[in-house]
Structure 1
Amino acid sequence: MRLDKLLANMGYGSRKDVKGLLKKKHVSVNDLVVRDGSMHIEPSTDVVKVKDEVVEYKKYIYLMMNKPAGYISATEDTREKTVIDLLSPEMQHFQPFPVGRLDKDTEGLLLLTNDGNLAHQLLSPKKDVYKTYYAKVEGNVTEEDVKEFTNGVTLDDGYVTKPAILEVIQRGSISEVKVQITEGKFHQVKRMFIAVGKKVSYLKRIRMGELELDSSLTPGNYRELNEKELSYCQSLT
């Protein structure tokens, strides 16, 4: 890999910015100052430093975001704000994409990565990775609703969902529930409640398999997966 490409990919600015760092002798490879950005290096073995700080090369990034309402799960859009807009330029350099999607008005756990294989495995129906949501629902959620979810709900298009787990946290005119599903049909949770005569007024994804939303992440914030979380995701591939 070219040295200037590596530095640009690692967030040290544009090729022009990197050229400036090289010209000012701020870059070294294996403790030797380098001014030629076209130099080819091996990221796994060569030690690259910028201003005496080691550049840790990453090919892939894995981010956990607490998606806020008002953003769409896409890489770009001419009319809407996307979750990529919430990332720093350093992270955008990796060209990550959301793993699956959350509706514009849905909040919560969203993974972003540039690792296509891992994303494919997480979304594969064969893996049955369950997704858990917290929801506020207009209307009193009954035991009959719980049974219907357990048996599979018939949606408006005639599709019968796979069995889902519906846990009632609080009943009332506005019920609070947790829903666990293994599918990801369009607006699925909302449509399941419509099928039993209820309406979802708030929806937040809190878990994907063993991956739980970090409670310290406020809406719009994100962090890289820790070693345990990444190991879980990679175990699915």
Structure 2
Amino acid sequence: MKLVKHIANLGYGSRKEVQWMFREGRITDAAGEVLYADDPLDHDAIRLDGEPLDPPSGLLLMLHKPVGYTCSMKDPGRIVFDLLPPRFRLRSPVLSTVGRLDRDTSGLLLLTDDGQLLHRIIAPKSKLSKVYLATLAEDLRGDEVATFASGTLMLDEEKTPLLPAELALLGPRQARLTLHEGRYHQVRRMFAAVGNHVQALHRERIGGLTLGELPAGEWRALDAGERAQLFAGG
């Protein structure tokens, strides 16, 4: 791939705009030597205005999603892409969220431009565990643990029962729930099915991957080891 196309695909501008960046001497190598559009492609050595390029295609990143943001490009309100560099919206292949967290849910959200990886993560057969911390409106009775683990709980308008899920009671109105599937608004609907209401919801983990010390609203790209960690967690 030519340098111009590669940099344009990362969202830095149209091909014409990137060509002007070369003419203006804004694209250099790590030592500050000006590069030309016909130079060999060496992604890690390229600098734009002295800064390294964003990760190339095949990107997987984690975002600590705050409450109040939606996982949509079309929502008129705040969207998770507002938390990323604006050029990320222009990448090719397109950057997409891996599943969704609703507006009122915070926590770990993955995004990728790798379609095969996206489908591997969300495919039902992967059964990647997802762990949520839920704060409830009413005191937990205690029998919810057995109900969620039974594999027989049916949600409204569903035709198949939920897979067994693990519920750990952390307090009268707080619990940690581990799911092995991803149905629409599943956590909220599960607690509604046992007569309760989720007041706050935070996703702590996907597979073996957690947010660690990543602050709310921040993101970072994941390396090969962290990708392996994602799937190692089952």
Q: TM bucket by the smaller chain? A: 0.7 to 0.9
Q: 1:206 aligns with which of 183, 190, 204?
A: 204
Residue 136 of structure 1 aligns with which residue?
Answer: 135
Please state how far the C-alpha of 1:22 moved relative to its aligned partner. 1.9
Larger radius of gyration: 1
Taking structure 2 as the reference length, the TM-score comes to 0.83
Residue 61 of structure 2 aligns with which residue?
Answer: 63
Letter in 2 for 1:199: H
Output the CA distance in 2 between the equivalents of 1:110 and 1:195. 26
Q: Provide, for residues 96-143 of structure 1, a one-character-per-residue CA deviation record: whole Å limited to 9, x for no partner.
A: 100011112111110001011111011111111010000001112122
Please state how far the C-alpha of 1:20 moved relative to its aligned partner. 2.9
Q: Which runs of 5+ in 2 are unaligned?
A: none
Look up the SS of the partner of 1:143 in the other structure. Answer: coil
Residue 224 of structure 1 aligns with which residue?
Answer: 221
User: 1:40-79 residue pairs with structure 2 within 5 A?
Assistant: 41-43=40-42, 48=46, 50=48, 58-74=56-72, 76-79=73-76
CA contact (8 A) 1:135 1:201 kept: yes
CA contact (8 A) 2:64 2:214 kept: no
Please state how far the C-alpha of 1:86 moved relative to its aligned partner. 1.7
Letter in 2 for 1:122: I
Q: 1:80 aligns with which of 70, 77, 80?
A: 77
CA contact (8 A) 2:207 2:231 kept: no
Identity %: 34
CA contact (8 A) 2:188 2:198 kept: yes
Change (3 A) 1:58 1:145: same
Look up the SS of the partner of 2:226 in the other structure. Answer: helix
Q: Runs of 4+ in structure 1 displaced over 6 angstroms?
A: 51-54
Residue 181 of structure 1 aligns with which residue?
Answer: 179
Please state how far the C-alpha of 1:206 moved relative to its aligned partner. 0.6
Please state how far the C-alpha of 1:14 moved relative to its aligned partner. 4.2
Output the CA distance in 1 between the equivalents of 2:139 and 2:52. 58
Taking structure 1 as the reference length, the TM-score comes to 0.82
Output the CA distance in 1 between the equivalents of 2:14 and 2:174. 48
Look up the SS of the partner of 2:107 in the other structure. Answer: strand
Residue 123 of structure 1 aligns with which residue?
Answer: 122
Matched length: 228
Output the CA distance in 2 between the equivalents of 1:191 and 1:54. 44
Letter in 2 for 1:224: A
Output the CA distance in 1 between the equivalents of 2:222 and 2:139. 37
Residue 155 of structure 2 aligns with which residue?
Answer: 155
Change (3 A) 1:125 1:54: closer
Residue 106 of structure 2 aligns with which residue?
Answer: 107
Output the CA distance in 2 between the equivalents of 1:97 and 1:170. 36
Q: Which runs of 5+ in 1 are unaligned?
A: none
CA contact (8 A) 2:46 2:53 kept: yes
CA contact (8 A) 1:84 1:97 kept: no
Residue 166 of structure 2 aligns with which residue?
Answer: 165
Letter in 2 for 1:68: P
Please state how far the C-alpha of 1:166 moved relative to its aligned partner. 0.5
CA contact (8 A) 1:28 1:49 kept: yes
Output the CA distance in 2 between the equivalents of 1:78 and 1:141. 35
Change (3 A) 1:102 1:50: closer
What is the root-mean-square deviation of aligned Cα atoms in Å?
2.9
